[in-house]
Amino acid sequence: MRMQSLQQNIQTDTVLRLEALRKEFTIGTISKRQVHVVNGIDLEIGSREIVALVGESGSGKTTVARLVARLYKPTSGRIFLHSTEVPKWMGKRETLHYRKTVQMIFQDPYASLNALHPVRYAIERPLKIHGLVGRGELQERVVSVMEECGLRPAERFLSRYPHELSGGQRQRIGIARALAVRPELILADEPTSMLDVSIRLDIMNLLMDLREKENISYLFITHDLAGARYVSDRVAIMYAGHLMEVGPSSDVISEPKHPYTQLLKAAAPKPESGTEPERIDVGGEVPDLTALPSGCPFEPRCPLAKAECRERLPEMRVVSPNHSVRCVLY
Amino acid sequence: MEYILVLLRNKKAMVGVVTILLFAIIAIFAPLIAPYPPTYMGFDQVLPPSAKHLFGTTATGQDVFSQIVWGTRLTLLVGLLSGLFVTVISTVIGVVAGYLGGIVDEILMILTNVFLIIPGLPLMIILSTYMPVKGMWTIILVITVTGWAWGARMIRPQVMSLKSRDFVKASVVIGESPFHIIVADILPNVVGLIVAQFFAAAVYGVLSEAGLEFLGLGNASAISWGTVLYWADNGQAILFGLWTWLLVPGLLIALFGGALAMMNFAVDEMVNPRLKKR
Amino acid sequence: MSDHKFLEVRDLEAGYQLGRPVRAVRKVSFDLAHGEFLGIAGESGCGKSTLAFAITNMLADPGKVFSGEVLFQGKDLVKCEREELRQMRWKEFSIVFQASMNALNPVMKIKDQIYDAVKHHSSEYVSGFDQRVRELFDYVNISHAYLNAYPHQLSGGMKQRVVIAAALALDPKLVIMDEPTTALDVVVQRKILQKVAELREKMGFSVIFITHDLSLLVEISDYLAIMYAGRIVEKAPSKVLFSRPLHPYTEQLMASFPPLVGEKRRLHFRGRSPVALSSNAARSVLPGSAM
């Protein structure tokens, strides 16, 4: 399937397409409840495109990444990789092929590495599993991937254990691990949230550089709107398992159309603005995912809510090229 | 390995290690330490402790001290072997159930719960009674069959919690096979628990062996601390005032069990603070 | 400003006695006037949490204050006796810690926990407590229905607001907050900070706000101090610090926030981040050319 690429206005391949993706979890032992975490997501990611999925905790964004990473099975909906539907059950060979194409970077740089293995183990394994190196080439390859991720000189890091590295260095190992198989799509689950401020930029720059060099697409999960704007071509705003607004990041963030996006922007720190901090006057708490209303989930907190918002969920409507909003106002 | 150094610094571990080593030395060098063959019945019967017979003699004229020394072998062997087998089985079942989950987990848990509910000693007695051959391996078998369930139940939740950790998820995402994940990611993180389990199982093994022998369900002609106890009871040691014949094996069993328990606590201590420090 | 400074920290040296002393706070000095909002920003390992504990003399073994003074309304907190401190805590100054919401006792009602805190430090409000606690809940916009609730029934943001309300129970003159909103979403964070600003206007207390999230501080604080490897490297009114940073570290730190508005361009951060001060990491963190 082809789609408009924003970078060069030429037709490019779609790497990933999510169609009506849903995920429900069942919790409770005696009285069971359904938690509706992902409620019908339609999203596309093109070749060499970085799409940021932005939302607060409980929005379902991490679950979307895990669904694409096949750590969970979708309750319903379809996932397409290069126009081929990804079947629910895959044999060993197909699974391995999928895992060579779609990789993941985790949020916690310490928890995502096994503390009992030296860090080179994390990068050796994917190379070995997918048979990507010949005899005697292993160390060379590991070193080369590590240096690509900014760990220089790589030799000094090879035998170190995770606890001997800083948070930023560990995250670079995590990126190297994902990069080793030369994937086409990397799911980055809040890769900078647990890093120091001064490191975040370096990591985001690294991911962008790798996109240029290795032609990788990213699904960049984050709660930080400013980071999303910096790193991504397109941004998708998620709330209570639904997509509320999707469009080019500069457009969506400079002129947010959906009231929730506007709220996120107003709440975000803007030290560069130089004026008095914006006040937000929003009440209400985050929605209860076990009892979602049938209308728009943001309605209880929306300053522009109308009666019809409570009745049914608005459709995603295109408001300008590549830019859609799910709100009755449009 | 650094673990050995940590072990040596722990007082409980030191006590445990020294005691076990001591008994191991006695067991290995039994022929050199024991003054007489343990089964030789030529001495005067029911003698009290003396220089010639440190712990006196039995009702059938055997030297108790020699019996104790030689008996160390069987007691240690049964205790440690049954501890080993129990640990292996409980680890395999606990890990498989915890990692695979689903129907496999449910079936294994039903099995585990059944074995947990059945009282151990009565089951052991019944099994031993019906076993055609009574000997060391029978005892080991019986101990293993009745003892694995508890360990499996301890290991399973640890494995389940590990499974939800990011580094295990990362291994899944890069394409590792479940087997490799279990061996390289899960097991190394439960090693402490398994080792502690081993010592707990060994205590269980030692005490069960003694118990079974004492009840006459073992091979009465074998020499172990348990059989010495059996014969002491049978030979009316209390009546004859032969306190060494009765007390010494019992005390030694308690000592050995205690040493193993010390090791168990020591390993537990070592495993937990490291988790907290992280 | 009165002659008697409200809070004066002079050459404070604090850290942990682990065989050899590890200095997490090195010769830190700053002043705080009545009603001022001081933000202290720094990355992990810079010593800011140790500083928070040191100022209030709450460092527990192996932590200790090696030297220096903390003159709170003229009295040196470092030299105070335990009993004196207890009387001052919660009444004169109070602290809201990182993830305090997790320190709430899960098996006690919220109301009872606040009562405990109040009773422990003062006999004021022991009678008339019910009215006071309702007042506090009003300050932070939590419905009175939650007075009899248990912590797990509240969301993260609500729990943190409860903790802040409890910290204000005895009308302290100084409130120290160590990463109070780190675990919370941006909208909740903004609401809580707005609330703190409102309450400060109303009640007139000073605030020391410690965080790694510099972008937040620039907007809400009067003064900003940047911490690096145990020292305060720069101190200035926040808007000044942001627009005209003098220290290279401050400069770089300010430059590493991707802007939400304005031009979109590539940013770079040069230089090394502070090494964590725990003895383990200090020995073995390797300086990569890019960290």
CB pairs under 8 A between A and B: 56
pLDDT tens profile C161-182 = 888 888 888 889 999 998 888 7
Q: What tokens appear for B184 in the block? A: 């390289």
Domains of chain C: 7-278 (3.40.50.300)
CA distances from A64 to A43, A234, B186 (A): 11, 17, 26
Please tell me which of the candidates A71, A163, A178 has its beta carbon nearest to residue B172.
Answer: A71
Backbone angles phi, psi at B275, to 5 degrees: -65, -40
Q: How far is C31 from chain A (nearest CA, A)?
A: 24
- Give the number of C-alpha atoms closer than 13 A to the C-alpha of residue A14, restricted to the C-beta side: 16
Tell me the average pLDDT across B37-47: 82
Least trusted range by pLDDT, from A115-129, A301-315, C78-92: C78-92
Strand partners, C2: none
pLDDT tens profile C208-232 = 999 888 888 888 889 999 999 999 9
Tell me the average pLDDT across A60-66: 94
- What does the pLDDT read at residue B274? 52
CB pair distance less than 8 Å for A104 and B189: no
Chain A partners within 8 Å of B167 (Cβ): 111-115
CB pair distance less than 8 Å for B172 and A96: no
Give the residue with greater pLDDT, B52 vs C1: B52
pLDDT band at B215 (very low <50, low <70, confident <90, very high): confident
Strand partners, A239: A242
CB pair distance less than 8 Å for B175 and A100: yes
> Beta strand C37-41 with C7-18: parallel, antiparallel or unpaired?
unpaired
CATH number for B119 = 1.10.3720.10
Q: How far is C198 from chain A (nearest CA, A)?
A: 11
For C103-132, b/e burial (b = at least 16 CB within 10 A) is ebeeeeebbebbbebbeebbeebeeebeeb
Q: Cis peptide leading into C62, omega within 30 of 0?
A: yes
Q: Find the chain B residues whose C-beta atoms sit closer than 8 A to any C-beta of A.
A: 165-167, 169-176, 184-185, 188-189, 278
pLDDT tens profile C92-141 = 889 888 777 677 888 888 888 888 888 887 777 777 888 888 888 888 87
- State whether residue A287 sits within 8 Å of chain C by CB: no
| Distance from C-alpha of C163 to C-alpha of C176, rounded to nearest angstrom | 12
Q: What is the complex's ipTM, to 2 decimals? A: 0.90
User: Is C240:C250 a contact under the CB 8 Å cutoff?
Assistant: no
- What does the pLDDT read at residue A107? 93
Strand partners, C21: C17
- Secondary structure class of A233 (helix, strand, coil): coil
For B213-225, b/e burial (b = at least 16 CB within 10 A) is bbbebbbeebbbb
For every residue of C165-200, DSSP letters joined together read HHHTTT--SEEEEESTTTTS-HHHHHHHHHHHHHHH
CB pair distance less than 8 Å for A177 and B176: no
Least trusted range by pLDDT, from A117-126, A319-328, C241-250: C241-250
Chain C partners within 8 Å of A205 (Cβ): 266-268
Q: Smallest Cα–Cα separation from C282: which of C24, C53, C40?
A: C24
Q: How far is C89 from chain A (nearest CA, A)?
A: 32
Instruction: Show which subunits contact C, needing at least 3 CB pairs below 8 angstroms.
Output: A
pLDDT tens profile A176-193 = 999 999 999 999 999 998
For every residue of A131-148, DSSP letters joined together read T---TTTHHHHHHHHHHH
For A238-269, b/e burial (b = at least 16 CB within 10 A) is bbbbbbbbbbbbebbbeebbbbbbbbbbbbbb
CB pair distance less than 8 Å for C257 and A205: no
Give the residue with greater pLDDT, C217 vs B169: B169
For every residue of A32-101, DSSP letters joined together read -EEEEEEEEEEEEEETT-EEEEE--TTSSHHHHHHHHTTSS--SEEEEEETTEE--SS--HHHHHHHHHH
- What does the pLDDT read at residue B48? 82
Tell me the average pLDDT across A3-29: 76
pTM for the full predicted model: 0.84
Give percent above pLDDT 70 in chain C.
90
CB contact residues (below 8 A), chain C span 18-47, against chain A: 43-44
| Distance from C-alpha of A41 to C-alpha of A56, rounded to nearest angstrom | 16
Please tell me which of the candidates A99, A108, A116 has its beta carbon nearest to residue B174.
Answer: A99
Chain A partners within 8 Å of B173 (Cβ): 69-71, 99, 103-104
Most confident of B12-26, B259-273, C132-146, C270-284: B12-26
Q: What tokens appear for B59 in the block? A: 């009702």
CB contact residues (below 8 A), chain C span 182-211, against chain A: 185-187, 189-191, 194
pLDDT band at A36 (very low <50, low <70, confident <90, very high): very high
> Beta strand C37-41 with C206-211: parallel, antiparallel or unpaired?
parallel
pLDDT over threshold 70, residue A12 = no
Q: Find the chain A residues whose C-beta atoms sit closer than 8 A to any C-beta of B.
A: 69-71, 95-96, 99-100, 103-104, 106-108, 111-117, 122, 125-126, 129-130, 163, 174, 177-178, 181
pLDDT over threshold 80, residue A247 = yes
Which long-range contacts (C-beta less than 8 Å, at least 24 apart) are formed by A1-5? A1/A44, A1/A80, A1/A83, A3/A44, A3/A46, A4/A321, A4/A322, A5/A46, A5/A47, A5/A48, A5/A49
Residues in chain B, overall count: 278
User: Is C204:C35 a contact under the CB 8 Å cutoff?
Assistant: yes
Tell me the average pLDDT across B71-75: 90
Sheet holding C93-96, edge to edge: C93-96, C174-178, C206-211, C37-41, C223-228, C231-237
pLDDT band at A6 (very low <50, low <70, confident <90, very high): low
- What does the pLDDT read at residue C286? 34
- The tally of domains found in chain B comes to 1
pLDDT over threshold 60, residue A1 = no
- What does the pLDDT read at residue C283? 35
Q: Smallest Cα–Cα separation from B152: which of B77, B95, B228?
A: B95
In which domain, by residue range, is B207 found? 2-277
Backbone angles phi, psi at B256, to 5 degrees: -65, -45
Give percent above pLDDT 70 in chain A.
93
When scoring C186, C196, C233, C249 by the number of chain A Cβ atoms within 10 A, the one with the most, hence best to mutate, is C186
User: Is A179:A123 a contact under the CB 8 Å cutoff?
Assistant: no
CB pair distance less than 8 Å for A96 and B175: yes
Closest chain B residue to A102, measured at CA: B173
Chain A partners within 8 Å of C285 (Cβ): 164-166, 169
Q: How far is C5 from chain A (nearest CA, A)?
A: 28
Least trusted range by pLDDT, from A8-17, A253-262, B187-196: A8-17
- What does the pLDDT read at residue A81? 94
- Give the number of C-alpha atoms closer than 13 A to the C-alpha of residue B32, restricted to the C-beta side: 5
Q: What tokens appear for C204 in the block? A: 């007139």
When scoring C37, C153, C291 by the number of chain A Cβ atoms within 10 A, the one with the most, hence best to mutate, is C291
CA distances from A43 to A80, A235, A243, C82 (A): 10, 10, 9, 60
CB pair distance less than 8 Å for B174 and A181: yes
CB pair distance less than 8 Å for A265 and C242: no
Quickly count helices (H) and strands (E) in chain A.
11, 13
- What does the pLDDT read at residue C285? 36
For every residue of A149-191, DSSP letters joined together read TT-SSTHHHHT--GGGS-HHHHHHHHHHHHHTT--SEEEEEST
CB pair distance less than 8 Å for C187 and A201: no
- State whether residue C264 sits within 8 Å of chain A by CB: yes
- State whether residue C250 sits within 8 Å of chain A by CB: no
Chain A partners within 8 Å of C254 (Cβ): 271
List the end-to-end C-alpha distance of chain A, in Å, as a whole number: 28
Q: What is the 3-state secondary structure (H, E, C) of B172-230?
A: HHHCCCHHHHHHHHHHHHHHHHHHHHHHHHHHHHHHHHHHHHHCCCCCCCCCCHHHHHH
pLDDT tens profile C25-66 = 999 999 998 889 999 998 888 888 889 888 888 888 788 888
pLDDT tens profile A256-315 = 999 999 999 988 888 776 666 667 776 666 788 888 888 899 988 888 888 888 888 999
For every residue of chain B, DSSP letters joined together read -HHHHHHHH-HHHHHHHHHHHHHHHHHHTHHHH-SS-TT---SPTTPPP-SSSTT-B-TTS-BHHHHHHHHHHHHHHHHHHHHHHHHHHHHHHHHHHHHH-HHHHHHHHHHHHHHHHS-HHHHHHHHHHH-SS-SHHHHHHHHHHHHHHHHHHHHHHHHHHHHTSHHHHHHHHHT--HHHHIIIIIHHHHHHHHHHHHHHHHHHHHHHHHHHHHTT-S-TTS-SHHHHHHHHHHTTHHHHT-HHHHHHHHHHHHHHHHHHHHHHHHHHHHHHHHHHH-
pLDDT band at C4 (very low <50, low <70, confident <90, very high): low
pLDDT over threshold 90, residue A134 = no
Domains of chain A: 2-320 (3.40.50.300)
Q: What tokens appear for A285 in the block? A: 């708490």
Q: How far is A180 from chain B (nearest CA, A)?
A: 10
Number of Cβ within a 10 Å radius of residue A84 = 8
pLDDT over threshold 90, residue A151 = yes
User: Is A13:A82 a contact under the CB 8 Å cutoff?
Assistant: yes
- State whether residue A277 sits within 8 Å of chain C by CB: yes
Q: What tokens appear for B227 in the block? A: 């059989």
pLDDT over threshold 50, residue C289 = no
Give the residue with greater pLDDT, A4 vs B6: B6
Q: Smallest Cα–Cα separation from A74: which of A21, A9, A135?
A: A21
pLDDT band at B277 (very low <50, low <70, confident <90, very high): very low
Question: Is the CA virtual torsion C155, C158, C163, C169 positive or negative?
Answer: negative
pLDDT band at C160 (very low <50, low <70, confident <90, very high): confident
Closest chain A residue to C253, measured at CA: A198
Closest chain A residue to B176, measured at CA: A129
